């Protein structure tokens, strides 16, 4: 049989192809196996930055490490992997930066959610993934735009990541803003979502920084509010402030204004921090508080630069003054409407300002003017107290124009009128005229001075008093001293006076014989008795003589032992005789 190579040569081709395919398939399996096992080995050591490739059992190690020792560690791990023959090490290190900057910014979208943009540097892929996961958890529904790059030069990883986590927490409280971490120095910039968020950010930045992190700058502003609202309500001795306030410094300034204008009022502060106030806002608020303090009660509502003021004043002129002062005192940017009512109308001044109190045994009549309804009540009450048991006819009217010291002047007049029991007190501006009649000599003498002292310069006082004394009895009486004997003779008004004169003679002239020859003539007198007693007392200073009362005249005659006795008699007679007797 002949051998024909051309025939069986064609049979070798399929065999060769089969052999090549078998070897190639084994190579792929070996390469995949080595790649999978080296990946797990690198991952278990935390070297996920490194990647491998194989051609058969010959490997290539590539990637950029964040730490200088990591490339050699990765190479050793690959070399120790069973089945690897040789390794071509193509690894390197990521770039190192002097300032390790990291930033996150927030921008609200028109609809739901928004975008969080990350930029700057991260130390490794693990940190990168952890930060993205933290962003998604902190800002659900937000798109994450990660533009961070790997770089060496990061500070302590634990401190740095704590700063990142803290910064993202503050960013979540901002409507729009940015957080920047330069190494471990934190800057927070932006507008707070609302007043509670602003307070939370401020509290965290001042007392809640993570260990090792420093605050470089706080550029967080309160939320911008539109419209910008503020309100004040004053009632029942309490002032309540509501709405917005630009800053804590401005809040303290408002507290100072409240203390100045409402020193006795309680304060309830319900204001929340917010930006967006109009120009000259604080100046306008201070005007409002100053004028509200003049009201009995009031409410102010401010929307941006438009004010509505409502309230109640005690007096009409106060209400008008408050409205005018608010309208004129507010900064030009403000617009206002004022409506202040009053409880007491403005009184027209009268001149002269007269007040008259007239009293007799049955009634008291009050005529003229008083500065208020309360003062009218006070005058009537004082009149009833000083002059009890009488009907009061009150015709006083309220008017303006009362002089300073008016109340004190009225009181002085009522006190004096009460002592007299009847009469008239007429006050005209700062002059008081008291007109009355009295039978009391002591009161007649003392009252003008007492009235002046009681008025105490509140007004100029004049007392026109008439002393009305009862008629004295027209008696003829004598007391004679002679030869050691005292003889009383003539007329006396009563048995009581008769007995008193006899007793006085015995007392003054001890050892002398007292002979009473007087007779009683019916009569009534408070003074005659005193005059007779004076006559007996002065008769004692004579060696002999006579004291003689005839009508309203006392005559003393006789012989004095010396000039001294004579001078004493004359002096005592001038000082001791009651009015009406000479």
pTM of the model: 0.51
Q: What are the φ and ψ backbone dihedral angles of 146, each rounded to 5 degrees?
A: -95, 115
Tokens 């004095």 appear where? 560
Q: What are the φ and ψ backbone dihedral angles of 220, each rounded to 5 degrees?
A: -90, 130
Which candidate, 534, 559, 537, 560, places its Cα nearest to that of 549?
534
pLDDT tens digits in sequence order for the chain, 582 residues long: 555 665 555 555 555 555 554 545 566 888 788 778 877 777 777 777 677 878 777 777 777 776 666 777 776 777 787 867 777 776 767 778 889 999 999 987 554 568 999 999 998 888 899 999 999 999 998 999 999 988 888 898 899 999 999 999 999 999 999 999 999 999 999 999 888 999 999 999 998 999 999 999 999 999 999 999 999 999 999 999 999 999 999 999 999 999 999 999 999 999 999 999 999 999 999 999 999 999 999 999 999 999 999 999 998 889 999 999 999 999 999 999 999 998 878 778 899 999 999 999 999 999 999 998 899 999 999 999 999 999 999 999 998 899 999 999 999 999 999 998 899 999 999 999 999 998 887 888 888 999 899 988 889 999 998 887 767 778 888 889 888 898 889 888 888 888 888 898 888 888 888 888 989 887 666 678 888 888 888 788 888 888 888 887 888 888 877 777 677 777 767 666 666 565
Which candidate, 428, 487, 489, 482, places its Cα nearest to that of 459?
428
- pLDDT value of residue 23: 46
- Which three-class secondary structure state does DSSP give residue 353? coil
Read out DSSP for 279-303? TTHHHHHHHHHHHHTTSSEEEEEEE
Rg (CA), the chain: 58
Which candidate, 183, 174, 9, places its Cα nearest to that of 103?
183
> How distant is the alpha carbon of residue 560 from its chain centre?
85
Left, alpha or beta for 470 (phi > 0: left; psi -120 to 50: alpha)?
beta
> How distant is the alpha carbon of residue 225 from its chain centre?
27
């Amino acid at each position: 049989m002949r051998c024909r190579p051309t025939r069986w040569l064609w049979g070798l081709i399929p065999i060769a192809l089969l052999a090549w395919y078998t070897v190639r398939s084994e190579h792929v399996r070996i390469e995949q196996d080595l790649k999978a096992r080296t990946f797990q080995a690198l991952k278990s050591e935390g070297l996920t930055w490194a990647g491998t490739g194989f051609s058969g059992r010959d490997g290539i190690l590539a990637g950029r490490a964040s730490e200088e020792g990591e490339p050699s560690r990765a190479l050793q791990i690959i070399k120790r992997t069973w089945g690897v023959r040789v390794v071509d090490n193509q690894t390197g290190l990521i770039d190192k930066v002097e300032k390790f900057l990291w930033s996150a910014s927030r921008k609200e979208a028109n609809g739901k959610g928004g975008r969080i943009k990350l930029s700057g540097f991260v130390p490794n892929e693990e940190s990168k993934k952890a930060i993205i996961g933290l962003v998604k958890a902190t800002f659900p529904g937000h798109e994450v735009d990660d533009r961070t790059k790997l770089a060496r030069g990061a500070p302590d990883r634990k401190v740095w990541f704590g700063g990142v986590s803290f910064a993202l927490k503050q960013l979540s409280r901002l409507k729009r803003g940015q957080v920047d971490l330069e190494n471990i120095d934190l800057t927070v910039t932006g507008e707070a979502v609302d007043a509670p968020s602003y307070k939370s950010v401020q509290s965290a930045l001042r007392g809640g920084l993570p260990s090792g992190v420093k605050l470089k700058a706080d550029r967080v502003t309160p939320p911008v509010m539109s419209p910008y609202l503020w309100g004040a309500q004053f009632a029942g001795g309490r002032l309540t402030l509501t709405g917005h306030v630009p800053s804590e410094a401005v809040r303290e300034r408002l507290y100072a204004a409240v203390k100045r204008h409402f020193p006795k009022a309680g304060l309830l502060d319900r204001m929340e921090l917010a930006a967006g106030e109009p120009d000259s806002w604080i100046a306008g608020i201070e005007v409002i508080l100053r004028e509200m303090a003049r009201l009995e009660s009031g409410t102010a509502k401010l929307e941006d630069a438009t004010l509505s003021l409502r309230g109640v004043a005690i007096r009409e002129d106060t209400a008008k003054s408050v409205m005018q002062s608010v309208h004129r005192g507010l900064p030009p940017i403000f617009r206002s409407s004022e409506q202040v009512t009053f409880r007491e109308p403005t009184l027209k001044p009268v001149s002269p300002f007269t007040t008259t109190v007239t009293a007799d045994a049955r009634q008291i009549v009050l005529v003229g003017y008083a500065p208020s309804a309360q003062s009218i009540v006070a005058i009537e009450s004082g009149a009833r107290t000083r002059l009890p048991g009488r009907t009061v006819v009150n015709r006083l009217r309220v008017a303006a124009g009362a002089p300073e010291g008016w109340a004190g002047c009225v009181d002085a007049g009522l006190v004096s009128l009460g002592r007299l029991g009847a009469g008239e007190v007429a006050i005209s501006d700062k002059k008081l005229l008291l007109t009355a009649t009295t039978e009391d000599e002591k009161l007649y003498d003392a009252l003008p001075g007492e009235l002046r002292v009681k008025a105490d310069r509140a007004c100029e006082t004049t007392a026109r008093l008439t002393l009305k004394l009862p008629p004295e009895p027209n008696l003829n009486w004598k007391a004679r001293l002679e030869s050691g004997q005292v003889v009383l003779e003539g007329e006396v008004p009563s048995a009581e006076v008769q007995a008193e004169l006899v007793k006085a003679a015995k007392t003054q002239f001890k050892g002398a014989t007292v002979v009473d020859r007087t007779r009683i003539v019916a009569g009534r007198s408070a003074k005659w008795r005193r005059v007779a007693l004076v006559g007996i007392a002065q008769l004692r200073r004579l060696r002999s003589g006579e004291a003689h009362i005839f009508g309203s005249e006392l005559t003393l005659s006789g012989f004095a032992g010396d000039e001294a006795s004579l001078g004493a008699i004359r002096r005592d007679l001038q000082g001791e005789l009651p009015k009406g007797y000479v």
